[in-house]
Amino acid sequence: MMKKERIEIDYTAYASAEELHEADRELFGKAVEAVNGSYAPYSHFHVGAAVLLADGHVVCGANQENAASPSGLCAERTALFYAHANYPGIPVRAIAIAARKEGSQAFSPAYPCGACRQVLAESQKRAGADIRIIVGDRDRILVFGSVDALLPFIFDSASMD
């Protein structure tokens, strides 16, 4: 029997970084700083990401573009892969993302792209616990309590059981 179903996504919206809980505010601040490490001569869109690990380490990344565009990588995956490569076995607890268009002082929201969501899903699986995602600009910051909110109907290792 056909049945219409729906999914609801839970997230919390904050009107500014100042409203965030201290840990989220600090991580978002690190993502803002990480924007400086962006190499984006093609899109001129500079993105920074800060990953909080379960042992307290914070690993930052920024998007790295390439003349052969598919060879570049988003800020989120740069940070996540660095974290997994350098702190193997330490679960990821949270990621904050900030972005700025070149020549602009204002920040733009940079929601993770599909490929980054998939990588986040793998990080969450490896962690065995939800990963918080903090993303937004100066006026509106959204906090998602789990990657599940950003990527429903996930394909992960369990899909192949």
Residues of this chain that interact with ligand THU (CB under 6 A) are 40, 43, 45, 47, 63, 65, 72, 74-76, 97, 110, 112-113, 116
Q: Which is nearer to ligand THU, 54 or 64 (CB)?
A: 64
Q: Please identify which of the residues 5, 22, 33, 76 carries the catalytic annotation.
A: 76
105: tokens are: 């002082």
Please say if 76 is a catalytic residue.
yes
| Nearest in space to 63 (alpha carbons), one of 50, 73, 51 | 73
Give me the least distance between CB of 31 and ligand THU, in Å please. 11
Give me the least distance between CB of 46 and ligand THU, in Å please. 8
Q: Which is nearer to ligand THU, 71 or 159 (CB)?
A: 71
The full 3-state SS of 87-116, as one line of letters, equals CCCCCEEEEEEEEEECCCCCEECCCCCHHH
Q: Which is nearer to ligand THU, 70 or 128 (CB)?
A: 70
Give me the least distance between CB of 129 and ligand THU, in Å please. 22
The crossing angle, in degrees rounded to 10, of helices 75-86 and 114-127 is: 30
d(CA 7, CA 121): 18
List the catalytic residues.
76
